[in-house]
Amino acid sequence: MIDSHSHTFYSKHATGTVDELVRASVAAGVKVLTITDHAPFPVDSDNRLLESELDHYFADIERAQQIYQGQIKILRGLEFDYMPGSDAYNRDLLARYELDFAIGSIHYVEVPGNRLVKVWELPRLAGHAFLDLYFAHLEALLESGLFDAVGHADTLLRGVPEEIVLRRLEPLLPLFVRNGIAYELNASGLRKSSLDPKSGREIHGVWSYPSRTLLPQLMAHNVAFTVGSDAHAPCDAGAGIVDLLNALQPLGLQSISYFERRRRIDVPLDSPNAPAAVKSNQ
C-alpha cells in the first residue's frame, strides 16, 4: 500500500509524532509512506509547520527512515498552500529544502469583501463567487510548475453537487499532463462529512470525493494518480486507501504513482511485479 499524504503534530491541528505515524502505517500495511505536513505559509500560520521547525521535521523523518529501514519506505514531503501571489514564497521554500514530494492544495479562497472561505466550510462552497475563484486558483496552481500533485482538487464535492464541480474541473484536465502534475485520489473523502443535497444538513458515512464519474475522463487525459489517506492522526494511517483502490480498479484505474526526489514512480495495480518494484527501492 502506498500512502502519499499524511500529517503529524507538526501541522498543529493533527496529532501523533512522526514515529507514531510511521508505526501505525507499518501496522496498517503501508509500504511507501510520504509524510506531508502543512508547509509554512503566511495564512493560518498556527495550523502548520513554522519555518523554524522544518529542520526538526526533516530530522524526525530521517531518524524514522533509519529505524524502520526494510519495513517501510518513508519519503519527505510537504503539503503547500496555493493562493494567488504565493508562488514566490513557495518557490523559495522548495529551493531551500530537498523534498521527495510537493503537494499543492487550495485550502483558502479570499472572496470579495476580504473574507477568507476555507474549503471545509461546507455551506459556503456552492456560492458562484467562491467557485469562480476556486477554479481560477486551481488553474493557476496547475500552471505554476511548482508542485508534483494537486491535493484533494475535488474536495468541494463535500458541499457542491457533482455535476457543478465536474463541469468546472473538466476544462482543466489537459493541464495535468501538460504541466506534469498528478491528480491526488484523497481517501479522506470516504470518511469526512458532506452536505446532503436535499436537506442541506451535514451527514456522515457518504463517499464525497474522489469523484468516480471523473475517473474515466482523467484516464482519457493520461493523468497520473497519487493516493493518500490524508491522515491527521496515527489511527487514520492508510485509512480508506484499500477501499478506494478496490472501488476504482473495476472502473479502469491501472496504476498509482508516488514521488521520490520529485521524480514520479508508477506502480501498476494488480501487477505481479508491483510489490517487487516497490520493494527494490527500499
- Cis peptide bond upstream of 275, omega within 30: no
Q: Which is nearer to Zn ion, 60 or 236 (CB)?
A: 236
Q: How many residues bind Zn ion (CB under 5 A)?
A: 4
Q: Which is nearer to Zn ion, 186 or 257 (CB)?
A: 186
CA distance 240 to 256: 15
Stretch touching Zn ion by CB under 5 A, among 100-108, 174-182, 196-204, 256-264: 100-108
Q: Tell me which of 230, 231, 241, 244 binds Zn ion, using CB under 5 A.
A: 230
Shortest approach of Zn ion to residue 252 CB, angstroms? 26
CA distance 282 to 273: 15
Q: Which is nearer to Zn ion, 58 or 274 (CB)?
A: 58
Helices (H), the chain: 18-28, 54-67, 87-96, 128-143, 162-169, 173-178, 215-220, 241-248, 274-279
34 contributes a contact to Zn ion by CB under 5 A: no
Chain position whose Cβ is nearest to Zn ion: 105
105 contributes a contact to Zn ion by CB under 5 A: yes
Contact by Cβ (8 Å): 104, 147: yes
CA distance 226 to 239: 15
Q: Which is nearer to Zn ion, 15 or 71 (CB)?
A: 15
SS3 at position 257: strand
Helices (H), 145-226: 162-169, 173-178, 215-220
Stretch touching Zn ion by CB under 5 A, among 24-32, 144-152, 219-227, 248-256: 144-152
**Binding-site string for Zn ion from residue 37 to residue 76, where x marks contact by CB under 5 A and - marks none:** ----------------------------------------
CA distance 7 to 15: 8
Shortest approach of Zn ion to residue 25 CB, angstroms? 15
Q: Which is nearer to Zn ion, 13 or 178 (CB)?
A: 13
User: Residues interacting with Zn ion, by CB under 5 A?
Assistant: 79, 105, 151, 230
